[in-house]
Amino acid sequence: MARAARVDPGPGRWRSRTIAGVKLVQTRFGKDPGWEGEIGGEAWCFVQAAGAYALRDWRAFTRDHLTGGPHAVSLRRLVTWVVEHEAEWQAKLRVRRGKGTRYVDPQVA
């Protein structure tokens, strides 16, 4: 019997939290819990996928889904990655917005 994944929305009293200098606000993306914050002038969404195999599967993407970060085992690591790689994803956004391409995060089966 599969165990349900543990979701980390932070303590019940938290509606926001700060990681690496980024203020994150609690939100939901469909059925998945997540956090949203602004980094480098862009709105970033951080989502912990639901399901038994996604126990530690955090994903990050811009609100318009034009770029995203790698999958990570914790929210802290993912936010830190986005902050540290700002120049890289800003460059990707410039190119993708200029060419009209779109980033699509693949679905995990």
Task: Answer whether residue 105 is part of any domain.
Answer: no
Structural domain count of the chain? 1
Task: Answer whether residue 7 is part of any domain.
Answer: no
Give residue-wise pLDDT tens across range 12-55: 556 778 888 999 998 888 777 889 999 999 999 999 876 656 56
Task: Answer whether residue 65 is part of any domain.
Answer: yes
Task: Answer whether residue 9 is part of any domain.
Answer: no
Comparison of pLDDT for 9 and 51, the residue scoring more: 51
Determine contact, residues 71/57, Cβ cutoff 8 Å: yes
Q: Give this prediction's pTM.
A: 0.74
Task: Answer whether residue 3 is part of any domain.
Answer: no
Task: Answer whether residue 37 is part of any domain.
Answer: yes
- Average pLDDT of the residues in 69-98: 88
Task: Answer whether residue 92 is part of any domain.
Answer: yes
Task: Answer whether residue 50 is part of any domain.
Answer: yes
Indicate the angle between helix axes 86-99 and 75-84, nearest 10 degrees. Answer: 70
Note down the domain range covering 38: 16-99
CA distance 36 to 64: 13
Q: Which amino acid is at 107?
A: Q
> How many CB atoms lie under 10 A from the CB of residue 91?
11
